[in-house]
Chains A and B, each alone.
Chain A
Amino acid sequence: MKILVTCKRVPDTDQKIRVKEDGSGIDDSNLAYVLNPFDAIAVEEALQIREEHDAGEEIRIVAVGVGIAEYEAELRTALAMGADRAILVENSNTMDPWAVANTIAAIVARESPDLVLMGKQAVDDDANQTGQFLAALLQWPQATFASKIEFGGLALQVARETDQGIEEIEVPLPAVVTADLRLNEPRYASLPSILKARKKEIEIIPYAELQLDISPQLDLLSMKSEISQRRCVMLEDVNSLMEIIRP
């Protein structure tokens, strides 16, 4: 069995993020990048499925990234956590979720995985589209916002987080599943695993080699920072607080 896990490189959003003055994007000077936290959850889930079910039947985990050469750092994170292989489709151009989904679909055609695990969204653009697009392109069943996955060989029992509550569904494999926050807590890579990952190779596929003809569905017009209207003042004592909060 093979699990494909997608890995996006995103700015660490705990930092202070600034928008460029001309609104063309975010100012990336001094920014630290990390593996998209939801993708890290997807990697962790793949590892747990392998740890729990790899009795006799070998489960292979392949990490896939689509983007610039620097993506290697985040694919190394996935390898250090325990993924077996990594593939980088190298493309220096900005891609929208539709283009990324098409690219991953091309990799799925090459790799024939039984399951594609993805973060429900990336924390940089919060698009939350690639997983759904991919399932549609592959004509596979999808389970989005997974907060629990039970692996039953030919099908998965998935608990989905919805606005109405937890929805439990079954999806036959192959399928696309996107991970929500509560699915698990990603591990810090172990020392032996980090050392082992240094020897693992990352397969680089130039984007052009896939010969995809995808027109962008999204145009980024401009970005701007939300200006907070909140003001903080220091109050003298509890009574002055009472005066403010008392109706």
Chain B
Amino acid sequence: MSKSIQTSFDVIVIGAGVAGLSTAMQLAKRGQSVVVLEREQLGNGSTGRAAGLLGQLRGTAESTRMLMDGVEIVLDLEKQADVEIYVQTGSLRIAETPERAEEIADLVTMGKSIGFDIEHLTQAEVAAKLPYMKTDDLLDACYCPTDGHLQPAELVSAYIKVGRKHGVQYHTNCAVTNVIVTGGKATGVETVVGEFHAPLIVNAAGPWSYLVAGLTDTVLPTAAICHHYLTTRPDDSIKIDRFSPAVRNRHHRLYTRPESDGLIVGMYGEEATEYDMESLPSDFDMSAMKARLDDILVATLVYNAGQRFPWITERTSMTITTGIMTFTPDGKPFCGKLPDIEGLFYGSGFCGHGIVQSPTIGVIMADLILEGETSYDIDAIEADRYFDEPEFQTRVDIKAAAYEMHSGYYGNVEGRKQ
């Protein structure tokens, strides 16, 4: 490595996806010298393939609070970096079965109880908002006008722009090959270009995070699961407004939002392709992933999309985006440290929701790294919740648990055990 390169920092962040970039930016804003080490290019892993849907009303009041605070951070980032990140399209949930209608009723009650802007919509109101969607079978719907999506590429560029302003250094093509531990404390990493040293190290390596954890013989229960979404090309006969609301249609396992006069439709299916990251080439580039023309999961996606958007068929002009998501056994990320090694922190396992969680996760990570505590209630996302749990130690068990969580992600009716 050239002598002119700085190799000693306060914090090393492994991985330049949104989790690592946001954490690095927040740490630097608090005066830390930070380096981000990325095996490939900035924002080119799961981040680069994400749809970025922002549905703020999720599960608990605390996770909703985190997402709402995230929007504030994004609005500030937009000013500082002069880019448009947050596209406030509003979002809909729709129900075509009594169970899903109950789910929506519960959601509206929960939302209203915490002062979140949410309302029921009639079938006619839904049809007026989304003329390109089949609505005649809907029993209920709810609308959240402050939802929308975050544009992943713009978010990445803002994190980097603001991070750089505060002194963050970014090294690409710089894969970490070892984590140096001395006397139970992390002190640095070895990379393909040489060693870097810091008393604090953040593993934000996304689907690779369990492999990075493995460098210190730490078990991180994450699994890499393939995901597809389609993007229709603009079509004069199907007008899709740039501010059409996003839709979550859990019955058909679909999510959708507008994109460049076309429509993104993705699916969390019952089945999925799993990856063992260690079996991929060392220079694997996620942006080169491509679905086969006869991939049954893509066919299922197109089929399900056609159930809600009847104009979408296999003959529709579209692109298929393929990427890898990092899933955990309970669908929640791992944030914070584990009892085994001092100075080593984790920010990984965002289960397809990393883009929208990343603004607040950066704050939480910086809190935990520098203060050892945070004002957020992080019980549900604390990194050590599976530590030494005997049923989450082998890859086979971890993969099975994460796969099961993925299968039920949109399938299960919320608030009810299947």
Q: A residues near B, CB below 8 A?
A: 12, 14-16, 30, 32, 34-35, 40, 76-77, 80-81, 185-191, 193-194, 197
Q: Is the CB of A15 within 8 A of B288?
A: yes
Interface hits, B284-300 → A, CB 8 Å: 285, 288, 290-296, 298-300
Chain B contact residues: helix, strand, loop or mixed: loop
Report if A188-B291 is in contact (Cβ < 8 Å); known contacts: A194-B296, A194-B299: yes
| Assembly CA distance A35 to B291 (angstroms) | 12
Q: Taking A190-B314, A191-B296 as contacts, is the C-beta distance between A34 and B280 under 8 angstroms?
A: no
Q: What is the count of residue pairs linking A and B with beta-carbon distances less than 8 angstroms? A: 61
Range for the number of chain B residues in contact with chain A: 20 to 34
A23 CB to nearest B CB, Å: 20
Whether B303 is near chain A, meaning CB under 8 Å from some CB there, is: yes
User: Which residues of B are found within 8 Å of A189, using beta-carbon distances?
Assistant: 293-294, 299, 314
Bound CA span A7–B356, Å: 43
| Cα-based distance from A102 to B225 in the complex (angstroms) | 44
Mask of B263-301 contacts with A, CB within 8 angstroms, 1/0? 000000000000000011101010010111111101110
Chain A residues near B315: list those with CB within 8 A: 187
Given contacts A16-B281, A187-B314, contact A35 B293 (CB under 8 A): yes
A80 lies within 8 A of B300 (CB): no
- Whether the Cβ atoms of B283 and A188 lie closer than 8 Å is no
Contacts of A76 in B (CB 8 A): 294
Known pairs A191-B299, A193-B314 / 11 extra A-B pairs, C-beta < 8 Å:
A12-B290, A14-B288, A16-B285, A77-B294, A80-B294, A81-B293, A185-B317, A188-B299, A191-B303, A193-B299, A194-B296
CA distance in complex: A190, B300 (Å): 8
Closest-by-CB residue of A relative to B300 is: A191
Cross-interface CB contact of B313 among A14, A190, A194, cutoff 8 Å: A190
Residue numbers in B under 8 Å from A186 (CB-CB): 293
Q: Which residue of A lies closest to B296 (CB)?
A: A194
Q: How far is the CA of A191 from the CA of B280 in the complex (A)?
A: 28
Binary contact track B167-201/A, C-beta < 8 Å → 1, others 0: 00000000000000000000000000000000000
The answer on a CB contact under 8 Å between B281 and A34 is: no
Query: Are A77's CB and B302's CB within 8 A?
Result: no
Asked if B320 is an interface residue, CB under 8 A from chain A, the answer is yes
Residues of chain A within 8 A of B280, CB atoms compared: 30
- Considering the complex, give the chain A residue whose CB is closest to the CB of B315: A187
CB distance from A37 to the nearest CB of B (A): 9
Q: Which residue of chain B has its CB nearest to the CB of A15? A: B288
Which residues of A lie under 8 Å from residue B314 when comparing CB positions?
187-190, 193
A-B pairs, 8 with minimum CB distance: A80-B294, A190-B314, A191-B299, A14-B288, A191-B303, A189-B294, A77-B294, A187-B314
B164 to chain A, nearest CB (A): 10
Q: Select A77's contact among B279, B292, B303, beta carbons within 8 Å.
A: B292
- With A16-B281, A30-B280, A30-B281 given, is the CB distance from A188 to B293 under 8 Å? yes
Q: Answer whether A188 and B300 are a contact pair too, CB < 8 Å, given A16-B281, A30-B281.
A: no
What is the CB-to-nearest-CB distance from A185 to chain B, in angstroms, rounded to a whole number? 6
In angstroms, Cα B280 to Cα A32, docked, is: 11
Instruction: Give residues 113-171 of B contacting A (CB, 8 Å).
Output: none
